[in-house]
Amino acid sequence: MAASYRNKIIGLIIISFLIRVVIASCTELGNDEVYYWTYSQYLQWNYFDHPPMVAIWIRIFTGNLQLQQYEMFVRLGSLVSCGIATWVMYGLGKKLHSEKAGWFIACLYNTSVYASIISGVFILPDSPQMMFWCLSLSMILKICNDDKSWRNWLLFGAVTGLCILSKVHGIFIWIGLGSFILIRKRAWLKLPQLYIAVLISAAIASPILFWNMSNNFITYKFHSGRVTVNAFAIHSDGFFREFFGQILYNNPVNVVIIILALIAWSKNKLIKNAALSVYAFIAIPMALILLLLSLFRDTLPHWSGPAYVSLLPLAGVYLAFFTKEKSFPAFIKSAAGLIIVAAAAGILLINFYPGTIGNKSSDILGDGDFTLDMSGWKDAGIKFQNIYLKDVKDSVMPASADMICYKWFPAAHEDYYFCRPLNMQMIGLGIPYDLHEYLWYNVYRKNAGTLDKAYCIVPSNENYDVHQTYAAYYNHIDSACAIPSYRNGKLARVFYVYRLSGWKGSVPFL
């Protein structure tokens, strides 16, 4: 039996990995992904938005940037992390209850849109975070089974520290464990192992604090502005977006299983392992806090993903208890079918929808079309290369000309698909909360070229008034040309190319 499930889990990891390779290879990088790619160009202890682990991941899996021109390698760290997390969740379930439970947990993990696609394909801070999050859940189980083991506590401190160094949401693991200790397990407060684990976790995550101390705590100012409630006006649209987003991102079938498992567990119909209580202390407050916050501020549904992953062990145990099917009960088949259909529909929509599903007006063509986030950039970049090379040949623009943009998006997309192939520099001209990390990149890039003449490219779906935006920086702003972007034979978007000259401003720095 053990060998049978072990073979199944290996097969699941291989097959799901190959499916993710296909997805990663046939879609262009999204807004966030190209922005995190820029992190990898300049390794720092922390960044404006997030800790450094995603940058390290990109560096490692692109062979220190030698393969960064391939989207699949930029995303490879996500694929590998998801495979490792799958194996960890299987092992967790095996120790928690049985091989069967471990198999179900692994299947549920791979049918979660958040776990298998958002963090399992796209390169985001969530990608390394989820590997370390799952390792943290595994170490919690080991601690609950042997709370005197120094090894268990030390490893827990290390993986939680790395989890926080991936994304600060990792602090919820400690919040959940701390709540469990105070309410259910005060005896652990007498264990020196606990405090050493806290110190190890804090030491590993400390670069985030030290960097912010040197940069006026700008990360906390930015994120606190996103979550601080300034006025208690009910934001019903945001609440429903968060509520239904949590369900959809974590797979509706999985959410139903989790709810059924919680009900059964509350009625003492499942095993009573302290680890399950810790997982609940981590997950439920996290999901509820985000729902509450969404009543007053905009939130993103994928923020809740780790909460639902933390409840998958309980869901897997529930299925092992109440189903006789050993491999693919109806719940698992339904969850798998749903995510396969969703992934296939997404790929088809991104790559083959004729034209745009967004605004059809010529000046803002494609506005509101989220699929253009991962479509059309590469082709437009190739067309711009021809324009640039002709301008240089005709002495219209110098070979050292830079690109400018006032906001981190679409700057990061243009940085990857337009500037990188030509060794151009993207310079940010704007305010800190629009430029984000480009404020730091300006320091690295200020002597790379000349700003006396520069390009600016404005996608129609992100259109803005170039003349007004850069009036303080340039005397002359001329429309050069427009690059049409087609999808399946129909116009989806237009990239407007501008040439700027007569530099009169100053590059903004931190």
Under 8 Å CB-to-CB from 141, ≥6 apart: which residues? 92, 95, 96, 273, 275
**Cis preceding-peptide flag for 301 (omega within 30 of 0):** no
* pTM given for the model: 0.94
Q: How many domains does the chain have?
A: 2
Judge if 285 and 168 occupy the same domain: yes
Under 8 Å between Cβ of 381 and 403: no
| 287-317 per-position pLDDT tens digit | 999 999 999 888 899 999 999 999 999 999 9
415 and 290, same structural domain? no
The answer for residues whose C-beta is within 8 angstroms of residue 501's C-beta and 6 or more apart is 452, 453, 454, 474, 475, 476, 478
What the block records as the tokens of 167 is: 């994304």
Domain final residue pick, 326, 348, 370:
348
SS3 label, residue 296:
coil
To the nearest 10 degrees (0 to 180), the angle between helices 126-145 and 53-61 is 110
Task: Give the residue among 426, 411, 406, 414 at the shortest CA–CA distance from 377.
Answer: 414
Residues 29-49: tens digit of each pLDDT: 999 999 999 999 999 999 999
User: Does any domain span residue 125?
Assistant: yes
Give the whole-angstrom CA distance, residue 454 versus residue 72: 31
Distance of CA 341 to the CA centre of its chain: 22
Residue 232: its pLDDT value, please? 56
Q: What is the pLDDT of residues 1-37, one digit of tens each?
A: 456 899 999 999 999 999 999 999 999 999 999 999 9
The answer to whether residues 394 and 469 belong to one domain is yes
Q: Which domain holds residue 426?
A: 362-503
Give the whole-angstrom CA distance, residue 444 versus residue 249: 38
Show which of 315, 348, 381 is a domain's final residue: 348
Q: Which helix (H) or strand (E) holds 212?
A: helix 192-214
- Is the Cβ–Cβ distance between 314 and 137 less than 8 Å? no
Q: Report whether 422 contacts 488 (CB < 8 A).
A: no
**CB atoms closer than 10 angstroms to residue 455:** 24
Asked if the structure places residue 70 within a domain, the reply is: yes
Q: How far is CA 80 from CA 61, 73, 77, in A?
A: 9, 11, 5
Q: What pLDDT, on a 0 to 100 scale, did the predictor assign at position 1?
A: 47
**What was the pLDDT predicted at 445?**
83
* pLDDT tens for each residue of 269-288: 888 899 999 999 999 999 99
